[in-house]
């Protein structure tokens, strides 16, 4: 099939970007979206043009690198699917497809569709860790955790940190990401020692990075490729309230 692409092209972080029209032919419906871009880039290289820069790594839906907004939706039209797992059968022959980078002040564009998401790394550095004593490895399952808590913490831990929540949010808020990390670690006994400090510091870092505030639109939850629930945001709000009331600072 043949597609008309409208792709955001931007030479560098400081340059002005614009939407450029491309036509890509011989697209197979079994190709992934990234393979379709590979085909386009091959055409561009042959023509001596600059290929479209985009992030990708594992191409099996677990690394969270492939960041692009397709027809206004982060990771495209399929629910709970990353761009690399989105297949071209989701599109019709002759369709026009908008491809843009994740847009947020805290995610500056590096080039074309590739954005700098190191603001997420700094949020993790602010409190997304636990204290573990060195020495012999402890026996597996030596800390009793009830099944429901373990499952809920695990659901939060499935966040791959792709940033689709920020890209989808009209406020470019990082509350879903941050709350998933806070929930994952705060719910488990291993995360207990830093519980209050973690919540306050991660939220402070999130604000410092220039993400917007949450207005509970739920767009993040709808677009999250891992189906992270906004119940985590309510949980983080509780944790934050508790931490600021009882905390020493």
Partner 1 sequence: MSLSGLFLCTFLITHMAGNMQLLINDGGLAFNQYAYDMTHSPIIKTVSYLLYFSILLHAVQGLVLAYANRGARKSRYASGNKSSSFASRNMGILGSILLLFIVVHMKSFWFEMHWGTIGNDANGMRDLYSVVVAAFSQWWYVLFYIVSLAALAFHLLHGVQSAFQTVGVNHSKYTPIIKAVGSIFAIAVPALFAIQPLYILFKTLQ
Q: Which of residues 38-57 bind partner 1 (CB under 8 A)?
A: none
Asked if 233 touches partner 1 (CB under 8 A), the answer is yes
Residues in the chain: 249
- Shortest approach of partner 1 to residue 60 CB, angstroms? 24
Residues numbered 172 to 201 that lie near partner 1 (CB under 8 A) are 172-173
**Alpha carbon 120 to chain centroid distance?**
9
Stretch that binds partner 1, among 31-39, 66-74, 85-93, 121-129 (CB under 8 A): 66-74
Give 78: exposed, middle or buried? Use CB within 10 Å, 0-12, 13-18, 19+. Answer: middle
Q: Which stretch binds partner 1 (CB under 8 A): 40-48, 133-141, 164-172, 193-201?
A: 164-172
List 150's β-bridge partners, or say none.
none
Looking at the Cβ atoms of 20 and 138, the one nearer to partner 1 is: 20
Instruction: Please give the sequence-ordered ranges of beta strands (E in DSSP) within the chain, or none if there are none.
Output: 3-9, 18-24, 69-70, 73-74, 96-100, 109-111, 114-115
Among 86, 165, 168, 206, binds partner 1 (CB under 8 A): 168
Residue 72-111 contact track with partner 1, rule CB under 8 A, x = bound: xx------------------------x-x--xxxx--x--
Q: How far apart are CA 24 and CA 36, in angstroms?
A: 8
Query: What angle is formed at CA 98 by the lines to CA 21 and CA 229, rounded to 5 degrees?
Result: 160
C-alpha triplet 6, 12, 15: angle, nearest 5°: 80
Could you give the string, one character per residue 3-22, with x where binding to partner 1 holds by CB under 8 A and - elsewhere?
---x-x--------x-x---
Q: Of the listed pieces 28-36, 39-47, 132-140, 236-244, which binds partner 1 according to CB under 8 A?
A: 236-244
Q: Give the Cα separation of 137 and 242 in Å (integer).
A: 33
Contact region for partner 1 (CB under 8 A) — 44-52, 127-135, 138-146, 229-237?
A: 229-237
Asked if 220 and 176 touch (Cβ cutoff 8 Å), the reply is yes
Give the binding site for partner 1 (CB under 8 A): 6, 8, 17, 19, 69, 71-73, 98, 100, 103-106, 109, 168, 170-173, 210-219, 222-223, 230-231, 233-235, 237-238, 241
């Amino acid at each position: 099939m043949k597609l008309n692409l409208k792709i955001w092209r931007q030479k560098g972080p400081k340059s002005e970007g614009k939407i450029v029209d491309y036509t890509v032919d011989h697209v197979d419906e079994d190709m992934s979206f990234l393979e379709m871009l590979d085909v386009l880039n091959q055409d561009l290289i042959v023509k001596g043009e600059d290929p479209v820069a985009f992030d990708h790594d594992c191409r099996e839906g677990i690394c969270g690198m492939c960041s692009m907004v397709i027809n206004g939706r982060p990771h495209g039209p399929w629910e709970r699917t990353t761009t690399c797992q989105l297949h071209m059968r989701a599109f019709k022959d002759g369709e026009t497809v908008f491809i843009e980078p994740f847009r947020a002040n805290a995610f500056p564009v590096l080039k074309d569709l590739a954005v700098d998401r190191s603001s997420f790394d700094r949020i993790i550095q602010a409190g997304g860790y636990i204290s573990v004593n060195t020495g012999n490895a402890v026996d597996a399952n030596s800390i009793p955790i009830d099944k429901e808590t373990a499952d809920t913490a695990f659901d939060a831990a499935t966040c791959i940190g792709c940033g689709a929540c920020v890209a989808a949010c009209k406020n470019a808020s990082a509350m879903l990401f941050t709350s998933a990390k806070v929930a994952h670690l705060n719910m488990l006994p291993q995360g207990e020692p830093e519980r209050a400090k973690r919540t306050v510091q991660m939220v402070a870092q999130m604000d410092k990075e220039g993400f917007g505030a949450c207005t509970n639109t739920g767009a993040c939850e709808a677009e999250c490729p891992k189906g992270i629930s906004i119940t985590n945001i309510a949980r983080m709000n509780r944790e934050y309230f508790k931490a600021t009331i009882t905390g020493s600072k």
